[in-house]
């Protein structure tokens, strides 16, 4: 399939259906729920999970199907935080075994994890731009 990925009907409704195209009435609508935290997540990722679950629950956009995507975000966040801490400790440049200055491997790790986080963040509406395209649902919006 080419072109843009289709938006979920729920997001189209929240955005006011800007394209005025027919909405998919047969699209699955999972129940709003709080998924259990993935046991594979470490302490830093677990803290981020708890923080985000609170926010997403209040917006009523989290379902059990979102567990893996949210876990991936939190795992990327933990790796990014560790790499950023090590950049602060060792700097952005380190000496190679031959004595020449090279970019710290932590810089690459931090950049890659930031890319992953931003991609997942836009799916959940964590970024200002993605948030500006939706509005919080009313209780009867999806009845």
In a domain, 48, yes or no: yes
Tell me what pLDDT residue 74 has.
97
Does 47 map to a domain? yes
Domain hosting residue 91, numbered range: 9-132
The residues that bridge with 102 in the sheet, in sequence order, are 94
How many Å apart are CA 66 and CA 70, to the nearest integer? 6
pLDDT tens readout for residues 77-102: 999 999 999 999 999 999 999 999 99
Domain count, the chain: 1
Per-residue model confidence as pLDDT tens digits over 119-140:
998 888 787 777 666 655 555 5
Confidence of residue 73 (pLDDT cuts 50, 70, 90): very high
Mean pLDDT calculated for residue range 37-49: 96
| Rounded distance between C-alpha atoms, residue 50 and residue 48, angstroms | 5
Answer whether residue 10 shows pLDDT above 90. Answer: no
As a whole number of Å, the end-to-end CA separation of the chain is 31
Residue 4 included in any domain = no
Q: State the pLDDT at residue 109.
A: 98
| Cα–Cα dist 122/133, whole Å | 11
């Amino acid at each position: 399939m080419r072109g843009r990925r289709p938006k979920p009907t729920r997001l189209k409704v929240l955005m006011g259906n800007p394209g005025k195209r027919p909405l998919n009435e047969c699209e699955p609508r999972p129940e709003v729920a709080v998924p259990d935290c993935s046991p594979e997540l470490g302490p830093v990722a677990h803290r981020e999970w708890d923080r985000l679950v609170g926010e997403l629950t209040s917006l009523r956009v989290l379902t059990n199907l979102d567990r893996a995507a949210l876990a991936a975000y939190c795992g990327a966040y933990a790796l990014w935080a560790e790499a950023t801490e090590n950049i602060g400790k060792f700097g952005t440049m380190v000496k190679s075994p031959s004595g020449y200055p090279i970019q710290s491997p932590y810089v690459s790790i931090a950049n890659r994890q930031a890319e992953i986080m931003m991609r997942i963040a836009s799916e959940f509406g964590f970024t200002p731009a993605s948030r500006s395209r939706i509005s919080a649902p009313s209780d009867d919006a999806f009845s």
